[in-house]
Structure 1
Amino acid sequence: MTLDAERLETLMSTEVYWTALAMKQQGSRFYRAIGEALEAADVPNRTLIYQTWPGAVWDFYLRGLRLEAGESSPSWG
Structure 2
Amino acid sequence: MTTPYHPPRKRSVEIAGHKTSISLEPLFWELLKQAAAVENVPINALVARIDAERIKAPVPPGLASAVRLWLVGWLAARFA
TM bracket, shorter-chain basis: 0.3 to 0.5
| Structure with the larger strand share | 2
| Structure with the larger helix share | 1
TM-score, L = length of structure 2 = 0.35
